[in-house]
Structure 1
Amino acid sequence: MVAVEPSPGLRSALLARVHGDEDLRTRVTVLPSSFPDVELPERFSALIAMNVLGHFDTAQRGVLWSLLAERLDRGGVAVVNLQPPAEPVPVPESVASTARVGRLTYEGRAKAEPTGDGTLTWFMTYRTLDGETQLDERTVSYRWHLVDADGLRTETAAHGLTLAPAGDPELGVYTITHT
C-alpha cells in the first residue's frame, strides 16, 4: 500500500499511526510527495482521496481522472469526498477539533474567505493550551478549488469514469469506477 502526504505535520501523524500497527508498518509506504508529482503503482485496485480534491485545480483533477482511467483495475474503486462549501462563500471561524492529551488541550480552528475564480482561502489555526494559558499557536492558509457534485460527475465522465454517491448524502462521499 502507498500513502501520499506532502504536509510534514500530517505525514508525522500518519507515520505515528502506521508505526503503531505492526501489520501496517510492514505493508504501508508513506511518500513525502504531492500529487501529481508522486510515483504511483502502474496498476491498483483502490484509491482513497479524502478531503483533498479542493487542493487540485481543474487541470490537476484532470490528471487524477486520467490516472484513474488508465491504472485503476476493472472492478476497482476510488473513494473521494467533496468538502463543503461548493460555492465561494465566507465560512465563519469555528473550532474544527479539540483533543486533550495529558494536561494540555490541542485545538484546531478553521475559517475561509472567497478569493475569486472559484476558490476559497482556508485559514487554519492550531493552538496548544494549558488550562486557559495559550502555550503555542500556528497558523497556515491555503487555496481551495471549489467543485460540486455535478462538476465532479462531468469531469470524471470525460475520462470514462462513473461517479456514484456512497453512504449518507450529507457526508459528500462518492465512488468512482470505470464506465
Structure 2
Amino acid sequence: MRRTPPHPPHLPDLRAGLGSGATRASRPRRRRAGDRLPGRGGLRHLWGLPEQDLPNTATSVVSDLRERTPMNETARAEHGLGYAVNAPYYDLIFPAPVRATLEGALQTLLPNARAVAEIGPGTGIFTEALARLLGPKAEIFAIEPARIMRAALMTRLARLPEANVTVLPDDALTAELDVELDAVVLFNLIMHFGPDDRARLWRKWAGALRPGGTLIMETQFPQKATAVPEAIVPGGVLGRHRYDTVARADVIDQDRIRWLMTYRTWAGNDLVRTETADFDCYVISDELLAQELSAAGLVPHPAAPADIQAWQRP
C-alpha cells in the first residue's frame, strides 16, 4: 500500500509541538478541467496578496507566513487555519484503498478487544469501524483535542447509539485512562512527533497496555526525507460537486518534509473552489520505528498485516 499524504496531519501540540504551518482559502475564478493549478496569478487569488508582494513560489509564501505567525495547530484551527481548512474534506478525500487496508488491520488484530484507545481519531472514520467491529460490550476511548475534528467525530457517534465510545478532548501525551488497554490505535498520527516526543509517546502508551496488548499504526510514507512529486488523489462526490486533492511534499531537512495539499471542488468540468494547507511531518523509517518501539519494551506482533506496524507488550 503506497501511503498517501496525511489525512490530515493531526495537532502538533497533541502530538509533537511542531512549528506552525500556513493555510489560506479562496474562491477562484472558474477553471476548466485540464487547466494547470494556479500559478503566480492564481496565488494572488489564493492568498489575497497584491501581485507585487508575491514571492516566486508557494513554498516561500508558506515559509514567510510560518515565520511571522508562530502558532501551534490548535491555535491555528481556532483562527480558521490548518484543520479548519482540512476538516470539511476529510471523509471525502480519504482514499478508499487506504481505508480498506487500515480497517482490515483492525479486523485482523483486534477481533476480541474490550478496551481500546484511539489517539487522534479526527472525524471518526476508524472510531466507527472499531465500534461496529467490537460491539457495545467493548469500551473505546477517542482522544481528539481539535475542536473542529471533535465536532465531526461526536456528530458521527451520535448516529451510533449502540457505540460505547468516550470522547476525550485531551492530547496524546497527557490523556489519562483508568483501565488497562487491549490496544492503542494511532493511524495517520506519528509523523507529527519529533524523536523526543515519540519516546514519551511510546513509553506512555506501551505502559497503558495489558500484557499481550497491541499498539497499531500504519507504515510511514515516505521512508526517508525525499520530495514527493505532485499527484492528484481522487475524492468523493456530494450532489453536483466532486472533490479531489493535489498533494506534494518538499524536503525541509534530513528528518522532515512539508506536505502541501490543495483541496479542489469541481462542478462538472469547472473548478469552482480551492483551499490549500501545508503540514510539516517527521520521516520515520521502519528501521527507526523498530528501534524506538523495542526500546519501549514492545515486540513485533506475529500477525501484523502488510504495511501495518503492530507491536505488543510482552
What TM-score do you get using the length of structure 1 for normalisation?
Answer: 0.85
Tell me by how many angstroms 1:51 deviates.
Answer: 1.5
Secondary structure, in 3 states, of the residue corresponding to 1:22?
coil
Structure 1 position 20 matched with structure 2 position 159? yes
Percent of aligned pairs with the same amino acid: 28
- Name the counterpart of 2:245: 108
- The one of 294, 297, 304 equivalent to 1:157 is 294
- CA distance in structure 1 between the partners assigned to 2:292 and 2:214 by the alignment: 16
Tell me by how many angstroms 1:21 deviates.
Answer: 1.9
Which letter does structure 1 place at the counterpart of 2:237?
R
Q: How many residues align?
A: 173
- Name the counterpart of 1:2: 141
Higher RCO by CA contacts (8 Å cutoff, separation 6 or greater): 2
- Name the counterpart of 2:177: 41
- CA distance in structure 1 between the partners assigned to 2:239 and 2:176 by the alignment: 39
- CA distance in structure 2 between the partners assigned to 1:140 and 1:69 by the alignment: 33
- CA distance in structure 1 between the partners assigned to 2:188 and 2:216 by the alignment: 11
Secondary structure, in 3 states, of the residue corresponding to 2:200?
helix
- The one of 246, 263, 270 equivalent to 1:133 is 270
Secondary structure, in 3 states, of the residue corresponding to 1:83?
coil
- The one of 35, 48, 67 equivalent to 2:204 is 67
CA RMSD, 1 decimal = 2.0
Gaps of 5+ in 1: none
| Greater per-residue helix proportion | 2
- Name the counterpart of 1:174: 309
Pick the structure with greater CA Rg.
2
What TM-score do you get using the length of structure 2 for normalisation?
Answer: 0.51
- The one of 41, 45, 56 equivalent to 2:193 is 56
CA deviations over 1:108-135 (Å, ceiling 9, x no partner)? 2221111004100111111222222333
Gaps of 5+ in 2: 1-139
CA deviations over 1:19-59 (Å, ceiling 9, x no partner)? 332212xx21333443224x231432211111211111111
- Name the stretch that deviates more: 93-102 or 129-138: 129-138
Which letter does structure 2 place at the counterpart of 1:148?
S
Tell me by how many angstroms 1:3 deviates.
Answer: 1.3
